Amino acid sequence: MKHLLSLESLSTREMEYLIDSAGALTQGRAHLEPHELAGQVWALIFNKSCTRTRVSFEVGIRELGGSPMFLSGHDMQLGRGEPVRDTARVLSSMVDGAIIRTYAQSDVEEFAHFGNLPTINALTDEEHPCQILADLQTIEERLGSWRGTRVVFLGDADCNVARSWMWAAARLDFDLVLSGPEAYLPPAGLREQIAEAGGRVTYETDARSAAEGADVLYTDVWVSMGKEEEGAERVEALRNHQINAALVARAKPGALVMHCLPAYREKEITEEVLENHAETIFTQAENRLHAQKAILLQLARAWQ
């Protein structure tokens, strides 16, 4: 594994290895870490807002002995039209790795292609691979294993987080249910690709049927970054796919409620459910740090 550009591009073995390594890294923080990034500088190029991903990567890089360099895409020449491929070649001569949050998946792919350094997708419009690795680690911690579970994603079931869940299901042994109004379910072509890859994914327009027997109820914001103009329309369209107490009652007893955060209370999740499941949700956020370190270590070793 030379880059982490998507979950689509990972094999079953690579995914399992990263989830297991992230779990092992929860056992020790800075004082126990191998300083495998010593002397390295990793650039974080971000074109969208960010809290968890930026902080977890910056802290993770430091704990592994390296230095993070945060670069806001808007302040870079990239923001004035310098091509991604030129930026990639320049940075390759100066830094040891790049972590990119942006809109087009093709930009992250182009950067990896033209750069000569490990490149990580820190969220694009198409995928959020780092998030789902931490989520699977959290399920493993809380339920013993993600194997054989029924994970139900509710809301904008065609967003980046939902799509990364689909690719995880294509590689790993669990059942995924995507629940949303028809217009917010993934397109037929992608569904076929996932089915051909062996993913056990089903699609539901009725949230109550979807939640039945769930081991995990999962949601994400209804208005992803870049979709702000559709805000009111989305809130209206998605309101029957909110995680609330009535929906939780349909899941298995002891089911996890998860949210990648940031959360909008009384939109995709009620205040009551979020607070009742805060321990899981904030552990899920903390696990971003452990998962990022697992990814960084794996890439640093591959480029040694």
- Contacting residues toward ligand CP, per CB under 6 A: 50-53, 123, 131, 260-261
Residue from 3, 52, 101, 163 carrying the catalytic annotation: 101
User: Which of 161, 176, 178, 257 lies at the binding interface for ligand NVA (CB under 6 A)?
Assistant: 161
125 a catalytic residue: no
**Residue among 138, 145, 51 at smallest CA distance from 101:** 51
Question: 270, 242 in Cβ contact below 8 A?
Answer: yes
Cα–Cα separations (whole angstroms), residue 276 to 155, 222, 293: 20, 21, 29
Only one of the segments 111-119, 143-151, 158-166, 204-212 lies at the binding site for ligand NVA (rule: CB under 6 A); that segment is 158-166
Nearer to ligand CP, 69 or 261 (CB): 261
Nearer to ligand NVA, 95 or 285 (CB): 285
Residue from 107, 137, 260, 284 carrying the catalytic annotation: 260
Is residue 221 at the binding interface for ligand NVA, with CB under 6 A as the rule?
yes
Which of the choices ligand NVA, ligand CP, none does residue 41 contact, using the CB cut-off of 5 to 8 A by kind? Answer: none
Is residue 132 at the binding interface for ligand NVA, with CB under 6 A as the rule?
no
Q: 108 burial class (0-12, 13-18, 19+ CB within 10 angstroms)?
A: buried
User: Which of 8, 126, 135, 220 lies at the binding interface for ligand NVA (CB under 6 A)?
Assistant: 220
Only one of the segments 38-46, 154-162, 191-199, 248-256 lies at the binding site for ligand NVA (rule: CB under 6 A); that segment is 154-162
77 a catalytic residue: no
Q: What are phi and psi of 226, to 5 degrees?
A: 100, -10
Rounded Cα–Cα distance for residues 30 and 146 (Å):
28
Radius of gyration of the chain (CA): 19
User: Which of 159, 166, 170, 248 lies at the binding interface for ligand NVA (CB under 6 A)?
Assistant: 159
Only one of the segments 31-39, 141-149, 216-224, 286-294 lies at the binding site for ligand NVA (rule: CB under 6 A); that segment is 216-224
Only one of the segments 37-45, 67-75, 157-165, 232-240 lies at the binding site for ligand NVA (rule: CB under 6 A); that segment is 157-165
173 a catalytic residue: no
Q: How many CA atoms lie within 13 A of 267 on its CB side?
A: 21
Q: What per-residue string of b and e applies to 37-54 under the rule 16 or more CB within 10 Å gives b?
A: beebebbbbbbbebebbb
Cβ neighbours, 10 Å, residue 256: 22
| ω into 262 cis (within 30 of 0) | yes
Question: 172, 146 in Cβ contact below 8 A?
Answer: yes
Q: Whole-number minimum distance, CB 157 to ligand CP, in Å?
A: 17
Residue from 52, 163, 171, 288 carrying the catalytic annotation: 288
Which of the choices ligand CP, ligand NVA, none does residue 159 contact, using the CB cut-off of 5 to 8 A by kind? Answer: ligand NVA
Question: 186, 251 in Cβ contact below 8 A?
Answer: no
Residue from 107, 215, 220, 298 carrying the catalytic annotation: 220
Residues in Cβ contact with 198 at an 8 Å cutoff, skipping those fewer than 6 apart: 170
Which of the choices ligand CP, ligand NVA, none does residue 51 contact, using the CB cut-off of 5 to 8 A by kind? Answer: ligand CP
Active site residues: 101, 128, 131, 220, 260, 288
**Site residues, ligand NVA (CB under 6 A):** 123, 159-161, 220-221, 224-225, 260
